[in-house]
Amino acid sequence: MNTLEKMETFIVLAECGSFTESAKRLFCSQPTISHHIQQLEELFESPLVQRSGKQVQLTQQGEILLSYAKRISHLVEEAAVELKRVSEQERVLSVYVSNYIAGYFFSDVLNELHTILPQKPLEINTYCYSDLIRCFQEGRTHYALMPIYPEDDYIRKNFETSVLFEEELLLVLPVDHPLAKRRLLYARDLHNESILLPKSEYLQQYVINHLNSRQVKTRFLQMSNFETIKQAIKSRHGIAFLPSGAVREELNRGELATVPVSSMQIRRQNGFVFRKNAELSQADRAFCKNVEHYLRTV
């Protein structure tokens, strides 16, 4: 006996209060409705309905079964929605990438990926570091391409990391800044300068700790992102330590300048962060392999 089908019949009968109306709603005969209810009563060994003229009322046992039947029906609907969501995810390759890597490294990766998975629709979700952490916490993804900070306890405890490239944070200045003419700077040369910082708390701490350890007195100003910082530098609002990938084009075009600071090297790692014990699909693995091949040569 298809119990789910009979449960649906029982729910409709409880709502209509009539075998005739139930049959009309379910596009079947009245004897079919009666047969379904009879089978449920035999299954549960309890009377479920009682007739009062043309109307039907539920017994106490029927009221109890109705509450369970509705819950079962809702669970079946939820299962259908979840199965559909998973099926759609399997058809679409959904990847999570930091704004930085997506903005400065991803165009070449995507061109190459199209030749490897030409029939696979690609959904790219780009977020700042803190929002990627939130995506992990909410279970929206099992891996992401992003900066890797060893200081992040949540990542260290729950995830495995694969470093694909490491880059230096360069001291970036306006081309007409007096310090831009120097071949080498010392930490003391940065006294009284305005240092522009991104929102990333880890990058902020890297820069602040390096300067504080050398007793450099500067003013720190927070900006929303690397693009805003670069525009602020060009407008002479300050200087900044920025990842080399974020300023590569501006340095090549001579729009910004960089000068090394003696004995002061700030570096950041980038790569994949994988949830421990998570199984990736074949398309996910192909994507990761392709990205790893490209970024390890950056």
106: CB partners within 8 A, 6+ apart: 97, 124
Whole-structure pTM value = 0.67
- Give residue limits of the domains in the chain: 3-89, 128-280
- What confidence score (pLDDT) does residue 111 get? 67
- What confidence score (pLDDT) does residue 291 get? 87
- What confidence score (pLDDT) does residue 114 get? 59
Q: Does domain 128-280 have CATH number 3.40.1440.10?
A: no
Spell out the SS3 assignment of the chain: CCHHHHHHHHHHHHHHCCHHHHHHHHCCCHHHHHHHHHHHHHHHCCCCEEEECCEEEECHHHHHHHHHHHHHHHHHHHHHHHHHHHHHHHHCEEEEEEHHHHHHHHHHHHHHHHHHCCCCCEEEEEECHHHHHHHHHCCCCCEEEEEECCCCHHHHHHEEEEEEEEEEEEEEEECCCHHHHCCCECHHHHCCCEEEECCCHHHHHHHHHHHHHCCCCCEEEECCCHHHHHHHHHCCCCEEEEEHHHHHHHHHCCCEEECCECCCCEEEEEEEEEECCCCCCHHHHHHHHHHHHHHCCC
- What confidence score (pLDDT) does residue 250 get? 97
- What confidence score (pLDDT) does residue 286 get? 83
Both structure tokens of 5: 């089908």
- What confidence score (pLDDT) does residue 88 get? 61
Which residues in the chain land under pLDDT 70? 1, 86-91, 108-109, 111-120, 298
- What confidence score (pLDDT) does residue 53 get? 78
Cα 165–chain centre separation: 21
Q: Does domain 3-89 have CATH number 3.90.550.10?
A: no
